[in-house]
Amino acid sequence: MEWEQWWEWIKEHRGKILGVGLGLLFGWFAIVYGFWKALFVALCVAVGYFLGKKVDEQTDWRRLWDRFFRPR
């Protein structure tokens, strides 16, 4: 395969490639540090991704805070 074909294949299957990579990384963390520590790291990564995405979208933080912590 030529480089252009490889790039097309990668673009077509990037979600699967990313999923396999993340699965391998989580598995390695679980083996080295234990399941619960690996789960904690995965949770921290997910929260970091969520916050970073909101920064990229220039989200109104007060509205976001009120959405999650409404007065009852």
List pLDDT tens digits, range 1-30: 688 888 998 888 888 988 888 889 999 999
d(CA 59, CA 53): 9
Q: Please write the tens of the pLDDT for every residue from 23-57.
A: 899 999 999 999 999 999 889 988 888 887 877 78
Using a 10 angstrom Cβ sphere, with 0-12 exposed, 13-18 middle and 19 or more buried, the burial of residue 24 is exposed
Tokens of 9: 């294949």
| Predicted model pTM | 0.61
| Tokens read off for 15 | 């979600």
